[in-house]
Amino acid sequence: MSQQQLSRRDMLKTATAVAATSSFAAIPAAAQNANPAGDGALRRIDQILRQATESKASPGIVAVAATDRGVIYEGAAGGRDIEKGPPITPDTIFWIASMTKAVTGVACMQLVEQGKLQLEQEMGKLLPELASPQVLEGFDANGAPKLRPAKRPITLRHLLTHTSGFVYSVWDPLMLEYEERTNTPGIITCKTAALALPLVFDPGDRWQYGIGIDWAGRAVEAVSDQSLEIYFRENIFGPLGMTDTGFLIGSAQKARLATKYNRKADGSLESSPFEMPQRPEFFMGGGALFSTPRNYLAFLQMLLNGGTFSGARVLKPETVALMGQNQIGDLKVVTLKTVQPDVSYDADFFPGMVQKWGLTFDINTEPGPNGRSVGSLCWAGVFNTFFWIDPKKKVTGTYLTQVLPFADPTSLKLYGEFERGVYDALKSA
């Protein structure tokens, strides 16, 4: 199942001594006395993923992980399509949805480093559409929205931390009703009208997940005078060798696309054709990228390594450190309570734990149940793609499949077992 020719124990042993030169660089031959305990933990991941796909509890899965020294795990199980294959591989194309947000955050922070954006900058002065934000308070007797002016302007920090007042209708009944009453298209349509939403609270008053980072993407375009597709390619994907990542999917990439599935009430999976709009009215910085596990791991390794990877400097170390710090003060990340159960279950990566938010990352304030250190960073995409970055233990990983609803219990369990296996292997090495 591993795509590398050497054994897992070789990979693990060598990763502690050899710096990676690319996201999946050839790993030199390892020492004779590689630790079989670490190898055993990684083989258990293989077995878990294989059992899940063979039983059709999950569609095809790819999981990859690396330390600051290099790749330690690369596993794939199942097919790109459950019924007709071919086998899924680490260069399979996935729609990574909200894993796009971290990329947009990096783009914003590049421009902050250059002095072209500031975290406390009032976005209405850059983006006229945000100059007079309105807060939705409900609907009158005729069903018309009741709006009032926001108490304060929206800043870039608000947009990047989900404290702007913008929300997603998937987890907000008031916004869902607004979209239905006003016939506003959903954000995933990539129609400009989808951005023309009111706030549901005043900027800075609380944390609630939403479309703020789509507006942050518009800010990148405004100051760079480039589309996000071009800006990302020239300033992030190109330097990191992420040639299979973007908003617009080519024919060769489409041939490697994983099929999306919906989980039915009885737990079975039903294929559901899906493709992000390929003639979008705007590039959705909050959730429209496709990528491969290998490509996205390169991005994660860059962040793990303080902004540098494979000889390319994308961000300064102090900028990466800032992105991983609590940026919402006393506010707390809250459970995403679904109002569209066909799209998402209730979602909370650390139930009962106080969680904070950095500049596009969820931050756990206690040790994670599967080995993650306090202060680690994570997020996900709606099709049950997940990643984490552990700056203390110097390890990162990503787990990708394509199934709805989000926060699918089966996918979360497999993601957790993958993470636990990686940490068990590191402890045993």
Of 20, 16, 8, 17, the closest CA to residue 305 belongs to 20
Asked if 231 and 239 count as a contact pair (C-beta separation under 8 A), the reply is: no
Amino acid identity of residue 393, one-letter, is K
Beta strands 94-97; 377-381: pairing state: unpaired
* Residue 151: active-site member: no
CA dihedral 213, 280, 130, 210 (to 10 degrees): -30
* Residue 101: active-site member: yes
Phi, psi of 19 (to 5 degrees): -70, 140
Catalytic hit among 209, 261, 399, 423: 209
* Residue 345: active-site member: no
Q: How far apart are CA 424 and CA 429, in angstroms?
A: 9
Ramachandran quadrant class, 97 (left: phi over 0; alpha: psi -120 to 50; beta: rest): left
Phi, psi of 196 (to 5 degrees): -80, 65
Catalytic hit among 98, 164, 224, 376: 98
Catalytic hit among 101, 168, 291, 415: 101
Q: How many Cα atoms within 13 Å fall on the side-chain side of residue 110?
A: 23
Cβ count near 22 (within 10 Å): 16
Find tokens 């947000």 and name the residue: 101
Contacts of 176 (CB under 8 A, 6+ apart): 169, 170, 339, 340
- List, by residue number, the catalytic residues: 98, 101, 209
